[in-house]
Amino acid sequence: MTATATLEILTARALHPVRHGFFTRKGGASSGIFEGLNCGPGSSDMAEMVAINRARVAEAMDAAPEALVTLNQVHSADVAILDAAPDGRPRADAMVTATPGLVLGILTADCQPVLFADPQAGVIGAAHAGWRGTLDGVLEATLDAMESLGARREAIRAVIGPTISQAAYEVGQEFLDRFLAEDPALSRYFINGQGGRYMFDLPSYGLFRLREAGVGQAEWIGRCTYQDESRFYSYRRTTHRGEADYGRLISTIRL
């Protein structure tokens, strides 16, 4: 059995026949608090372990390691338009391409990884969409960039991968107020929690933004990063435990 055979890769029917995968933490080379498939070069994990994990992901996507592109993610609405693998990691939170062979990879540990495809036009995209990026328009910016490469918005399919669910996403009044200042109707993505706190529904908000933007199809894969420790890394779970660092999951798509 090869190393890649031990990986666990979640897929979505909506994105077929485009090759893609929401990788869980299973099947990786990292150990300790990073145990599993930690693909984050920004973590304090051993660099050689991260490189091994990323090479396994590339192999699973039938690509060379250098074809796997990830970003320097900064919770922005910036999108990189790629026609070749860049030198280093572009500072952006989404990327799009019409170039076959490039593997677009998004790193997350509670934020939404969103994969996009217009199979007929041969255009794909991938976005890192935490609450801030989603509020600031990273999903809409990704759709705009895909259209600039020839995609048709009504033909684009978007799938939100494993992310933190409402049951695990407790926030304070200031967080709620920021959304209400944008649109009072956004209160529907919050429910009351304990002690005057609120619970925020990030994937439902992401789906709302995608559908309002006119995407042809949008869905969430229905997996919570916080609640399933055996499969997913979680920044919030790590924070609650007082651990020093956390692994990063990877979600990928290629033509």
Chain segment 143-153, per-residue pLDDT in tens: 999 999 999 99
Rounded average pLDDT over 242-247: 92
Residue 59 maps to a domain: yes
Quote the CA–CA distance of 33 and 17 in Å, as a whole number.
Answer: 35
Residue 181 maps to a domain: no
Residue 5's pLDDT is what? 65
Q: Are 28 and 60 in contact (CB under 8 A)?
A: no
Rounded average pLDDT over 75-91: 95
* b/e code 230-251 from CB counts within 10 Å (16+ = b): ebbbbbbbbeeeeeebbbbbbb
Residue 186 maps to a domain: no
Report pTM: 0.96
Residue 1's pLDDT is what? 41
Residue 114 maps to a domain: yes
Rounded average pLDDT over 216-221: 98
Phi, psi of 60 (to 5 degrees): -65, -25
Residue 44 maps to a domain: yes
Number of domains in the chain: 1
Residue 215 maps to a domain: no
Q: What is the mean pLDDT of the chain?
A: 96
pLDDT, tens digit (0-9, with 9 covering 90-100), for 110-134: 999 999 999 999 999 999 999 999 9
Residue 187 maps to a domain: no
Domain carrying residue 231: 3-163+223-254
- In this structure, what CATH number is given to the domain that contains residue 245? 3.60.140.10
Q: Is 4 exposed, middle or buried (0-12, 13-18, 19+ CB in 10 A)?
A: middle
Q: Is the pLDDT of residue 2 over 60?
A: no
pLDDT, tens digit (0-9, with 9 covering 90-100), for 147-199: 999 999 999 999 999 999 999 999 999 999 999 999 999 999 999 999 999 99
Residue 195 maps to a domain: no
Q: Is 137 exposed, middle or buried (0-12, 13-18, 19+ CB in 10 A)?
A: middle
